[in-house]
Amino acid sequence: MEFKKLSALFLCTAVLSACGGEGELQTSAPPAPSGEGSYKVGDPYQIAGKWYTPKEDPDYNQVGIASWYGPDFHNKQTANGEIFNMNDLTAAHTTLPMPSYVRVTNLANNRSLILKINDRGPFVGNRIIDVSRRSAQLLGFEERGTTRVRVEAVSGPDAPVQVARSSEPPPLERQSVAKVEVATLEVLEPLQVETTPAQIAAIDPGPAAPEAGDEIFVQVGAYSQIGNASRAITAVKHLGSIAMEGVTLNGRKLYRVRIGPLHTTTSANAALEQVLALGHNTAKVVFD
């Protein structure tokens, strides 16, 4: 969410809480320009009749509702002067310093991320944090739109991430599927991407699969038309081994395109970053 100045004495914000979904191939948002922000705590301010008092709070630890924001704010200025990029691991908070770092844990599946606070918000109901679209994808609640989370202040981007998984993952990720052979595909070398903890800072349990028998994939998308699925395959086949699967969801036949299996969630996160950059904005990491 962007925290805009409407005058020298009055602040207001626009709030976005949207649910993404699996769908047809989408065009990419333009790359966000670089923007240097400044450290900012800020003075008390009032929004919709409620007062907020920003402060440094290294012991911050709260449970509440998280939402996410994305395309409508991409490339726009955040409250501390940075440029919002919906594919970065960032978030908006009403009172924590900017920039500062928090560990956000989705209490529905126990996935955690380290996120940088660089914006103000959310200002809706009992929500306590508004995360970027990519963060919502990695935390596993993009489609739902909101989720219950724990938000903890941490010392920096390299703080440890608590990793665990729910025993009941989303239904779509664990359906039995009918494999669709794609005779024209080459099996390429596994994706190898150099990353840093600050760039990834996410759900990585190490070299073992998150649960016994699980495999890790990047799902590029799920398409109602096989032609769209084939075009997605062509666009991402240079990133690694590709599989297309046919699945019926709520009586609707879909064709899922996936990269993998990948060895760790770090490599999956790196692959996801490249897929998102190619314009496949519904892409996400899944376990199967």
Domain-wise residue ranges, the chain: 7-154, 171-287
| Rounded distance between C-alpha atoms, residue 82 and residue 67, angstroms | 20
- pLDDT for residue 251 is more than 50: yes
Q: In whole angstroms, give the CA distance from residue 83 to residue 112.
A: 24
∠ Cα 270 273 277 (to 5°): 145
pLDDT at 122: 93
Mean pLDDT of the chain: 74
For 144, half-sphere exposure in the C-beta direction (CA atoms, 13 angstrom radius) is: 17
User: What CA–CA distance (Å, rounded) separates 175 from 198?
Assistant: 33
* pLDDT for the residue numbered 69: 94
Q: What is the pLDDT of residue 214?
A: 67
Range among 8-17, 139-148, 170-179, 270-279 rated most confident = 139-148
Q: Are 188 and 237 in contact (CB under 8 A)?
A: yes
Q: Which of 118-122, 129-133, 203-207 has the lowest mean pLDDT?
A: 203-207
Average pLDDT over residues 24-28: 40
Residue 65's pLDDT is what?
Answer: 93
147-197 pLDDT, tens digit per residue, is 999 999 999 988 887 644 433 333 333 333 333 333 333 333 333 333 333
Tokens of 25: 């191939």
Question: Tens digit of pLDDT for each residue in 122-143?
Answer: 988 889 999 999 999 999 999 8
Higher pLDDT, 68 or 248: 68
Band (pLDDT 50/70/90 cuts) for residue 36 is low
Name the least confident of 18-32, 50-64, 247-261. Answer: 18-32
Which pLDDT value is given to residue 78? 93
| Phi, psi dihedrals of residue 265, rounded to the nearest 5° | -70, -20
- Count helices and strands (H / E) in the chain: 4, 15
Among the listed residues 208, 209, 211, 217, the one whose alpha carbon sits nearest the alpha carbon of residue 190 = 217
Share of the chain above pLDDT 90, in %: 36
How far, in Å, CA of 139 to CA of 202, rounded? 9
Q: Does domain 7-154 match CATH 2.40.40.10? A: yes
Question: Which DSSP category does 202 fall into?
Answer: B
Beta-sheet pairing, 242-249 with 252-262: antiparallel
Q: What is the pLDDT of residue 128?
A: 96
The answer, yes or no, to whether residue 283 has pLDDT greater than 90, is no
Maximal CA-CA distance, the chain:
64
- Report d(CA 77, CA 65) in Å as an integer: 24
Q: What is the DSSP letter of 29?
A: P
Angle at 125 between CA 23 and CA 156, to 5 degrees: 75
* Paired tokens of 265: 């969630």
Average pLDDT (191-209) is 36
Could you give the angle at the alpha carbon of 173 between the alpha carbons of 264 and 15, nearest 5°?
Answer: 90
At residue 264, the pLDDT reads: 80
Is domain 171-287 given the CATH code 3.30.70.1070 in the classification?
Answer: yes
Tell me the average pLDDT across 94-107.
95
Instruction: Give start and end residues of each alpha helix (H) in the chain.
Output: 133-139, 197-200, 226-236, 265-277
Indicate if the pLDDT at residue 285 is higher than 90: no
Q: Indicate the DSSP class of residue 30.
A: P
Is the pLDDT reported for residue 52 higher than 70? yes
Cα(40)–Cα(174) distance, integer angstroms: 44
Assign residue 73 a region (left: φ > 0; alpha: ψ between -120 and 50; beta: otherwise): alpha
| pLDDT > 60? residue 243 | yes
**Pair 175, 132: CB distance under 8 Å:** no
**Cα–Cα dist 98/137, whole Å:** 23
